[in-house]
């Protein structure tokens, strides 16, 4: 196991408060994005810290340059200006490959060759045979029904050598066992209450609920779980401030941080901005974009009022 792996409590954070806003340029920003960006930048200003911007553009099919330009334009209109250069994930695929290689050297990842249709069919069969819903992760997706033991490592290596398409999955059981072998105490994170710099409570991670998560896809050489962990460490993020919809995913992130010997930031999961039906605003649900609000005559102050926020003080 890597000798540099340390517990989250053993890691020391840089003195300067550093947070980030990390949208995906696969569409225009909406009010939910605006809220998260403003909560981040306001916390940085209150703490005399640093606010950074990251474009999570690993999906090179859906992410487009015009959306990236639109994000920068929308943030500038809101008065949200990062304190350093923008990090684009598409520039750092080599970093993610190195992280996967490290996990592979530890025997903690494996290539999985089942297609989405095969997985869906196996889930249906499992539910039919048991009369019960298949186990699901915290996001509601069925857990992978094809465990690592279903195919020998030699057979997987042979398929890989033949050029068969595959995803890279984390062996969750082996990874949790590896963390236990490393020592350093239980797998936890510190969750700030109320505001990002507020009092904290210790949350016990439960990564097992996610099953063997995908760390690299057939069409993209990484995943959200892996890249966000690598990027937060690379950018020196001390406080991850993001929506409550990502609260449970933090268990996977702190597991990867421990395995890779990376620091665990302090987390704060803020409230979500909901539509009139009570659902989270999202691009897939065609939430009204900031660009559309601007075209209709809205001002940054109008956005702040709708989000129940105060103007961001300038530095």
In the block, residue with structure tokens 């033991």: 149
Whether residue 189 is predicted with pLDDT greater than 50 in this model: the reply is yes
Whether residue 148 is predicted with pLDDT greater than 50 in this model: the reply is yes
CA distance 279 to 297: 25
Residue 207 DSSP symbol: G
- The pLDDT mean for the chain works out to 91
Whether residue 143 is predicted with pLDDT greater than 50 in this model: the reply is yes
b/e 143-166 (16+ beta carbons within 10 angstroms → b): bbbeebeebeeeebeeeeeeeeeb
Q: Which among 15, 39, 7 has a CA at the least distance from the CA of 312? A: 39
C-alpha distances in Å from residue 68, one per residue of 20, 31, 72, 91, 289: 16, 17, 7, 14, 14
- In CATH, what number does 18-113+151-309 get? 3.40.50.620
Q: What is the mean pLDDT of residues 52-81?
A: 95
Whether residue 21 is predicted with pLDDT greater than 90 in this model: the reply is yes
pTM: 0.90
Q: Which among 139, 192, 136, 170 has a CA at the least distance from the CA of 255? A: 170
Question: Which pLDDT does position 310 carry in this prediction?
Answer: 56
Q: Which among 81, 86, 88 has a CA at the least distance from the CA of 42? A: 81
C-alpha distances in Å from residue 205, one per residue of 144, 177, 287: 20, 14, 32
Share of the chain above pLDDT 90, in %: 85
Question: Which pLDDT does position 308 carry in this prediction?
Answer: 83
Share of the chain above pLDDT 70, in %: 90
Higher pLDDT, 15 or 128: 128
- For 255-288, the pLDDT digits (tens) are 999 999 999 999 999 999 987 666 677 766 667 8
Whether residue 12 is predicted with pLDDT greater than 50 in this model: the reply is no
Q: What is the mean pLDDT of residues 146-175?
A: 96
CB 46 within 8 A of CB 309: no
Structure-block tokens of residue 208: 């097992």
Whether residue 7 is predicted with pLDDT greater than 80 in this model: the reply is no
Domain limits of the chain? 18-113+151-309
CA distance 259 to 253: 10
The beta-strand segments (E) located in 15-94 are: 18-21, 50-55, 87-88
- For 212-266, the pLDDT digits (tens) are 999 999 889 999 999 999 999 999 999 999 999 999 999 999 999 999 999 999 9
Q: What is the mean pLDDT of residues 74-94?
A: 96
- For 287-306, the pLDDT digits (tens) are 789 999 999 999 999 999 99
Whether residue 211 is predicted with pLDDT greater than 50 in this model: the reply is yes
- For 91-130, the pLDDT digits (tens) are 999 999 999 999 999 999 999 999 999 999 999 999 999 9
CB 30 within 8 A of CB 281: yes
């Amino acid at each position: 196991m890597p000798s540099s792996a340390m517990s989250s409590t053993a890691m020391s954070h840089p003195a300067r408060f550093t947070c980030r806003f990390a949208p995906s340029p696969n569409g225009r920003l909406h009010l939910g994005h605006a809220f998260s960006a403003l909560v981040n930048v306001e916390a940085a200003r209150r703490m005399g810290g640093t606010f950074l911007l990251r474009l999570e553009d690993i999906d090179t099919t859906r992410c487009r340059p015009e959306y990236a330009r639109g994000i920068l334009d929308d943030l500038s209109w809101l008065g949200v200006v990062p304190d350093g250069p923008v990090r684009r994930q598409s520039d750092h695929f080599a970093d993610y490959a190195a992280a996967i290689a490290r996990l592979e050297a530890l025997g903690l990842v494996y290539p999985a060759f089942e297609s989405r249709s095969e997985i869906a069919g196996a889930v249906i069969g499992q539910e039919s045979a048991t009369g019960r819903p298949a186990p699901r992760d915290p996001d509601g997706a069925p857990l992978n029904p094809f465990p690592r033991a279903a195919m020998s490592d030699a057979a997987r290596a042979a398929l890989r050598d033949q050029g068969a398409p595959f995803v890279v999955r984390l062996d969750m059981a082996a990874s949790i066992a590896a963390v236990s072998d490393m020592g350093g105490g239980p797998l936890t994170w510190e969750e700030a209450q109320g505001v990002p710099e507020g009092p904290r409570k210790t949350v016990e991670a439960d990564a097992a609920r996610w099953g063997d998560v995908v760390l690299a896809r057939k069409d993209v050489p990484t995943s959200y779980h892996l890249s966000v962990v690598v990027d937060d460490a690379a950018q020196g993020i001390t406080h991850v401030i993001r929506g409550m919809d990502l609260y449970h995913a933090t268990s996977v992130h702190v597991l990867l941080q421990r395995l890779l010997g990376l620091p665990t930031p302090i987390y704060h999961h803020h409230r979500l901005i909901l539509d009139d039906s009570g659902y989270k605003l999202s691009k897939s649900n065609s939430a009204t974009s900031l660009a559309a609000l601007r075209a209709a005559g809205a001002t940054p102050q109008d956005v702040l009022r709708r989000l129940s926020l105060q103007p961001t003080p300038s530095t």
